[in-house]
Structure 1
């Protein structure tokens, strides 16, 4: 299993997960033209995408979903509440998902995770391949629940929101109403919350912890890294997904250090 990102932040978010048989996109907060260009950097095109999963209806996550999926005939999976908020969705093949029930896309098992965020029916996702490698994606939630802790146990890779530093948010340029929203129970995880979450799900088999959805105005990469590094002493680097450059492909290995399938780092496959 591999993962990559087209970019993450308030200007747009999109994550890719692939195996030797399946490629899925989580969210699409970029225009179709931008997606095509960003996918090309990862040696893919929209025609390679088997499905788009949507976490919630905010523009930085859903801006390009309908246009991309209509143009390239890509099926969309999201909660019913999320899809009710999508505009101009005619002609898109949509499958509603039950947030308490896992489902399969190709050889990927997808586990939706209900999260507290100021959207209609938001969720995040944990993926598992046929070799039981697990990838967790967790952004856009205002606090950590016991349900979330249970769902993200035993992940081998984790993309984790470190949206803001509390002091930078308090003293930053946002109006007070937006500060309350971002820092509230249905907003975004701050560095300290992310570190506490990681402390509760960390284990020696965790290979990657990637920082995502970091605020350009209210955080610094060094602060986010410090909040996680104090918890995960066996991981030496904590990549930060860039808004413009995204994140290149990362492999999730089996315990013996192998992929168990042919390396296809630069192959476009369907």
Structure 2
């Protein structure tokens, strides 16, 4: 028994993560268009009809801009906190909008989804773990600094989408204005390669089979650099870069004692079109 996971897109141009079992799936955030979401899932052999809910981490546009059309078209409930909904200004008439509370699990068929608070410059930001078939998947992005909530949940995961937004040196030398550099590197901004690697090395459980380096900056990071840092400390965990330009393959994550596997797809060999970056 396993959970199937993929990053449909990861970066400041849009974020969307798919996690599902054999019967149902959820999306964590939907920051790319409905059409692009459908296209990428079709290339992976995944069906939108299997998706039963969207969970929203926070109100920034790269996490929510695809939600209104996607939720209406597929009649998907949207789980979002009251403060995040207010700040998002999304027009969700005709959509079932459901509030969730940190540390209270939401059951979606055979999947259990739990949100928990984190540090980020948003109204009420949450990260998520999704559990099913004895497997736990974490989505840990848009985090200024890894607090106890993040650490505790990371230690439970068989696989995790982990933010590696920027390289310290590249950010410092970038053309960004001072205020934006401070915002990104602050305690309510984004997590650097160094911060993420420290979390990974100190708190990675022995049974974590995959880590997906996520939300990489187009200007202030390099996928090869980030992957090389983690590869040296992986200790048996497969390191995958979640692209800002295309979907990853579908990975089937199994609990300890099973053989970890992955499904190859055209995403492994066919790049998608380049998209614009916000930062």
TM-score (norm 2): 0.88
Query: Aligned runs of 1:94-243 on 2, under 5 Å?
Result: 94-129=97-132, 131-235=133-237, 237-243=238-244
Could you list the per-position Cα deviations for residues 98-149 of structure 1 after superposition, in whole angstroms to 9, with x for gaps in the alignment?
A: 01312211111112121100111010111111x3211111000100112221
What corresponds to 1:80 in structure 2?
82
Q: Which sits farther off after the overlay, 60-69 or 86-95?
A: 86-95
Deviation at 1:229, TM superposition (A): 2.9
- 1:28 paired with 2:30, answer yes
Tell me, yes or no, if the aligned pair for 2:6 and 2:18 is still in contact at 8 Å: yes
For residue 69 of structure 2, the aligned residue among 67, 70, 78 is 67
Equivalent position SS for 1:147: helix
Distance 1:31 1:134, change over 3 A: same
Q: Is the 8 A contact 2:154 2:204 kept in 1?
A: no
**2 CA distance for matches of 1:6 and 1:96?**
24
Tell me which residue corresponds to 1:54: 56
Question: SS of the counterpart of 1:247?
Answer: coil
How does 1:29-44 map onto structure 2 within 5 Å? 29-44=31-46
* Backbone CA RMSD of aligned residues: 1.9
Q: Secondary structure at the match of 2:169?
A: helix
Counterparts of 1:228 and 1:94, CA distance in 2: 38
Gaps of 5+ in 2: 266-279
Residues 137-179 of structure 1, C-alpha deviations (whole Å, 9 max, x = no match): 1000100112221122121111101000011001112122211
Q: Which moved more, 1:218-227 or 1:164-173?
A: 218-227
The residue aligned with 2:268 is none
Contact 1:52 1:75 in 2 (8 A): yes
- Find the counterpart in structure 1 of residue 249 from structure 2: 248
Contact 2:81 2:124 in 1 (8 A): yes
After TM superposition, what 4+ stretches of structure 1 lie above 3 angstroms from structure 2? 263-266
Residues 210-254 of structure 1: CA deviation (Å, up to 9, x unaligned): 11101110001122123323432223x411011222211001123
Conserved? CA contact 1:7–1:15, under 8 Å: yes
Structure 1 residue runs without a partner (length 5+): none
SS of the counterpart of 2:161? strand
Could you say which residue in structure 1 is the equivalent of 2:269? none
The number of residue pairs the alignment matches comes to: 261
Distance 2:241 2:117 in 1: 24
Q: In the alignment, which of 17, 20, 41 is matched to residue 19 of structure 2?
A: 17
